Amino acid sequence: MKDRIENLLSEVEKFAATSIEQAEQFRLKYMSRKGEISVLFDEFKTVSPEMKREVGQLLNKLKTIAQEKLDAVKGAGDAQEEKKSSDDLTRPSNSFVGGRHPLTIIRKEILDIFSRQGFTVADGPEIEDDWHNFSALNFPEEHPARDMQDTFFIDKDIALRTHTSSVQVRVLEKTAPPVRIVMPGRVYRNEAISARAHCFFHQVEGLYVDKGVSFADMKQVLLYFSREMFGEKTEIRLRPSYFPFTEPSAEMDISCTICGGKGCNVCKHSGWVEILGCGMVDPTVLQNCKVDPNVYSGFAFGMGIERITMLKYGVNDLRLFSENDVRFLSQFKSAL
């Protein structure tokens, strides 16, 4: 009997199945109720007492190895079947609850803050003509923004809008002051894509035109926005700048939200982070929109939603917002 067990053990150790069918044949031959291993266990009671220990150990070894061989083939078959079934597009999916995109969350928060200050939302087309995108906003013919390296032109006088400032022209052409609007939307620039720049991004611009509107009014509106968005301890500063459609113009910084103004890598150890551009609406722009600059004045500002979102959530790569990586987007699932 010992020789029979050793012969079977040699056969079992050499066995290698490549399919479920071969594994089933193996089971029937060796491990079924009438299989050869089961027959040996039935005959074990006839073994002499002095041989039972040795034969019993050998028989148990045979059964264990046979079972391991069978389990290995079944496991490989189950994994193959699972992969096959996972590629079946007709199977019901395991759906999960999604969340709003981080840009959508911040866009809504920005609009809500300005809504509390009396601003309403205006919208306009993403494909614009030269007048609304450039000329009415006091861009000279030789201005760099008109060059092909900055703008996606469709033809000579039609382009993808480079800013949502074009919406303020359309509103002023049709609406008499007072006008107090914010204009969110997607804009396009012919720029190289990197961690800090993209060929498309999102802006929110604001416009307030009425009698007696001053630079101080603008500063107060932007201070309120900054403290509502980044916290009540946030400070702002305005630095002189230049934009064709505003005069005087400024760029606005906020005290760094990471270090509290003490200096860190985010703010380049200055304590300040730039978030938007602003200024008083140039009288030429008002004239172009048939608004009398001797009666009305106004201010305008513009900010990138991606820029605000990066500061708010500590995101360091602009490309993450447009790559649709579920690992990134799922972090905002709770912000419904």
| 10-residue stretch averages of pLDDT, the chain, 336 residues long | 76 73 75 76 75 76 78 61 57 67 92 94 93 90 73 88 92 93 92 81 94 95 94 92 93 84 75 92 94 95 91 85 85 64
Task: Determine the pLDDT at residue 203.
Answer: 93
Q: How far apart are CA 75 and CA 208, in angstroms?
A: 69
CA angle 240, 268, 299 (to 5 degrees): 25
Q: How far apart are CA 240 and CA 248, in angstroms?
A: 8
- Quick one: tokens of 8? 């079977």
Task: Determine the pLDDT at residue 75.
Answer: 61
Q: Name the nearest CA neighbour of 168 among 225, 227, 119, 238.
A: 119
Task: Determine the pLDDT at residue 41.
Answer: 74
Tally Cβ neighbours within 10 Å of residue 220: 12
Question: Where exactly are the structural domains of the chain?
Answer: 2-86, 102-332
Amino acid at 172: L
Query: Who's near 285: CB < 8 A, 6+ residues apart?
Result: 136, 137, 138, 169, 245
Partner residues linked to 181 by β-bridges: 120, 207
Partner residues linked to 200 by β-bridges: 188
Q: Which run of H or of E encompasses 37?
A: helix 36-43
Q: Which run of H or of E encompasses 103?
A: helix 102-115
Task: Determine the pLDDT at residue 268.
Answer: 80
CATH class name, domain 102-332 = alpha beta
Q: Name the nearest CA neighbour of 191 among 132, 150, 221, 223.
A: 150
Q: How far apart are CA 30 and CA 39, in angstroms?
A: 9
* pTM for this predicted structure: 0.67
**Quick one: DSSP state of residue 304?**
E
